[in-house]
């Protein structure tokens, strides 16, 4: 589910028409767009690294790099063709960086990879909360009903990509805490939810562009912790 959420975070608000004739112009745009900064690239690289850690837990996880490379290639092919208008150089470079670093990262002993990824994910969640993001464009103020802030203004549904991104980052952080042996599912979910709620209140006093708080994010972390705890209990694991 976390892997599906990561892939869903790349979806645009509306799927464009199949217009292959426009692809060369989009490719030229990427070539002339310049190099994005590290702050833009690192979240994508981290996301793909976490996806690799998830793949490693599956049967045949010893070949995680190959599976990760195939998954990343499939995503980039779609992003640079059908969804080329929405792709950015930061996500391309982030994907490439993760594939380069992964062979060395997966050789770390024990749960060190999960611990390092958990620390990095915690920093990323804090950064993504304090920096302006998509929800702040249309959801100013406090929103006490979970998921209400993700509703589109025209009433046509939710911002699916934004929801998927939240599910991935908060769920992945809880999962990494469990996988690293730092906390159980319930404790990890509650801890992440509490930290996010604290940041939400801090953000209410931030500049107008990000003056926004919601119960959606803590709720997602709590649900992720509960789901992981139930799955672990069902499998006999921690």
Going residue by residue through the chain (238 aa), what tens digit of pLDDT does each one get?
888 898 888 888 778 888 899 999 989 988 888 888 888 899 999 999 999 998 888 776 667 888 889 989 999 999 999 998 888 899 999 999 999 999 998 888 878 999 999 999 998 887 766 554 444 444 556 667 777 777 766 655 567 888 888 899 999 999 999 999 898 889 999 999 999 888 877 766 655 455 567 788 899 999 999 998 988 776 655 4
Instruction: State whether 145 and 223 are in the same domain.
Output: yes
Query: Among 41, 76, 107, where does a domain finish?
Result: 107
Total domains in the chain come to 2
Instruction: State whether 132 and 237 are in the same domain.
Output: yes
Instruction: State whether 215 and 133 are in the same domain.
Output: yes
Instruction: State whether 6 and 97 are in the same domain.
Output: yes
DSSP alpha helix (H) spans, the chain: 2-8, 23-32, 38-56, 64-79, 89-105, 112-130, 160-179, 185-204, 216-235
- pTM (predicted TM-score): 0.84
Instruction: State whether 155 and 207 are in the same domain.
Output: yes
Provide the greatest CA pair distance for the chain. Answer: 53
Instruction: State whether 87 and 119 are in the same domain.
Output: no
Domain coverage including residue 101: 1-107
Instruction: State whether 66 and 128 are in the same domain.
Output: no
Instruction: State whether 53 and 29 are in the same domain.
Output: yes
Query: Among 107, 127, 153, where does a domain finish?
Result: 107
């Amino acid at each position: 589910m976390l892997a599906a959420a990561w892939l869903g975070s790349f979806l645009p608000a509306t799927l464009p028409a199949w217009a292959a004739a426009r692809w060369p112009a989009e490719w030229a745009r990427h070539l002339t767009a310049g190099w994005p900064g590290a702050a833009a690239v690192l979240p994508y690289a981290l996301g793909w690294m976490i996806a690799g850690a998830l793949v490693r837990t599956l049967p045949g996880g010893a070949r995680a790099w190959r599976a990760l490379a195939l998954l990343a290639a499939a995503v980039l092919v779609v992003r640079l063709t059908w969804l080329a208008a929405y792709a950015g150089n930061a996500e391309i470079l982030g994907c490439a960086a993760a594939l380069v670093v992964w062979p060395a990262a997966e050789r770390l002993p024990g749960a060190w990879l999960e611990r390092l990824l958990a620390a990095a994910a915690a920093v990323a969640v804090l950064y993504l909360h304090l920096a302006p993001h998509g929800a702040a464009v249309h959801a100013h103020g406090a929103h006490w009903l979970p998921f209400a802030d993700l509703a589109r203004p025209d009433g046509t549904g939710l911002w699916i990509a934004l929801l998927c991104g939240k599910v991935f980052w908060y769920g992945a952080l809880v999962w990494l805490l469990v996988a690293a042996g730092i906390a159980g599912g319930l404790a990890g979910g509650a801890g992440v939810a509490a930290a996010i709620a604290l940041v939400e209140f801090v953000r209410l006093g931030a500049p107008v562009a990000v003056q926004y708080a919601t119960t959606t994010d803590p709720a997602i972390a709590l649900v992720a912790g509960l789901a992981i705890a139930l799955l672990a209990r069902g499998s006999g694991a921690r």
